[in-house]
Amino acid sequence: MLNFRVVATGLVAGCAGLTLAGVAFGSDASQPVDSTPATATSPFATLLAQRGLAAAEGYPGLHSLCSLEAPLIDAGKRHRLSDDASDKPRPKPKSSAGKRKPLGPHRVFDNLYFVGNGQVSSWALTTSEGIVLIDAMNTPNQAETIIAPGMRELGLDPADITHLLITHGHGDHYGGQSWIVEQYAPEVIMTRIDWDMLDDPEQRIDNPRWGEPPERDHQVIDDEMLTLGDTTLGMYITPGHTPGTLSLVFPVKDGDEVHHAVLWGGTGFNFGPDEARLRGYSASASRMHQIAQEAGVDVFLSNHPKRDGTPGRIAALETRKAGDAHPFVTGDQALGALDLLSDCTLAQAERLRAAR
């Protein structure tokens, strides 16, 4: 059943080397509260992690998920602790001469525009009947000063936003929604499961840095299609990062070529050492692989730019010459990213099982 590829043993060291002490492991988590002791006692976990890494060499931003030594952090628990010093703003990275310029707005495909920043993505998908905005960043201020001006800079009118799609119920994705809704009154789409999560103080993550969550609006069901004129988005509930994370499949255009993108709706393990949750996450990623393969997906996107390599790919787009491949079109690697998500979450579950 399990068909392991031969992988270099160096990958094990590479995997361990990616232990980043709670920085890169969960996109929303910065301070370990609830962690699992490192274990190297599960050869099965190691094999799965190796296989995941080998499948997605083109997506180094996902590799930290395969570290079997990184702590598994419960970000919700962190934020439920009173007078928690970790809610202080994170120190700004020291500037260095070789530092890349801040990530600005960019037209990535003819119909897909990046309008986020270096920490979190917001994507504008244009159709013949309006714009679908995917995620709203952290705060109303970011929506007003990053998303809307970014769209205008790229020649889009934010008043054309007909739908605001929230990939999951964490405030780095919904926090700017109130400003977008007040200004442009789009239909807000999220899963019922994540709206329920936001109603549950035990499940939701409260972070004072985030804007207000959205009012219940369009509660998307699994495998629902959103068709706007010439464009259809497939919407799939992929439990894992949150119980009702929403992942998407949609066409992206590059001149005469049409490609298909999968947007994975939530990535980091910020829910603590929860074996069942990890196994569910793995199943979600496997299922998305199947769906993406049937849809001819050759582009993998995330809602955090570091996960899908957006900064480097945008830099490559800026110097792209006629006839060059599109740097976001990665062929089999796009499905390989889903393989990594499936294998490395299972590896983490096996790691927990071995530590029981």
- Which residues lie near Zn ion (CB under 5 A)? 28, 170
Task: Spell 182-203 as b/e; 16+ CB within 10 A means b.
Answer: eebebebbbbebbbbbbeeeeb
At a CB cut-off of 8 Å and minimum separation 6, what does 45 contact? 39, 68, 347, 348, 350, 351, 354
Angle between helices 332-355 and 275-295 (to 10 degrees): 170
Residue number, 136 or 156, with CB nearest to Zn ion? 136
Q: Are strands 106-109 and 112-114 parallel, antiparallel or unpaired?
A: antiparallel
Shortest Cβ 237–Zn ion spacing (Å): 15
Residue number, 204 or 260, with CB nearest to Zn ion? 204
Shortest Cβ 86–Zn ion spacing (Å): 16
Shortest Cβ 301–Zn ion spacing (Å): 15
The enclosing H or E element of 179 equals helix 177-184
Residue number, 214 or 251, with CB nearest to Zn ion? 214
Q: Which two tokens stand for residue 298?
A: 């050759």
Rounded Cα distance, 72 and 29, in Å: 10
Task: Spell 59-93 as b/e; 16+ CB within 10 A means b.
Answer: bebbbbbbbbbbbbbbbbebbeeeeeeeeeeeeee
Rounded Cα distance, 269 and 25, in Å: 7
Shortest Cβ 173–Zn ion spacing (Å): 7
Place of tokens 């993505």: 121
Give yes or no for a contact between 150 and 104, defined as CB atoms under 8 angstroms apart: yes
Rounded Cα distance, 235 and 215, in Å: 20
Shortest Cβ 239–Zn ion spacing (Å): 13
DSSP state of 145: I
Rounded Cα distance, 73 and 225, in Å: 34
Q: Which residue is nearest to Zn ion (CB)?
A: 170
Residue number, 172 or 350, with CB nearest to Zn ion? 172
30: three-class secondary structure by DSSP: coil
Shortest Cβ 25–Zn ion spacing (Å): 13
Residue number, 46 or 302, with CB nearest to Zn ion? 302
Shortest Cβ 28–Zn ion spacing (Å): 5
Residue number, 193 or 252, with CB nearest to Zn ion? 193
At a CB cut-off of 8 Å and minimum separation 6, what does 43 contact? none
Residue number, 153 or 196, with CB nearest to Zn ion? 196
Residue number, 122 or 231, with CB nearest to Zn ion? 122
Shortest Cβ 27–Zn ion spacing (Å): 6
Give which of 92, 122, 37, 107 is closest to 305, Cα–Cα: 122
Residue number, 29 or 334, with CB nearest to Zn ion? 29
Shortest Cβ 243–Zn ion spacing (Å): 12
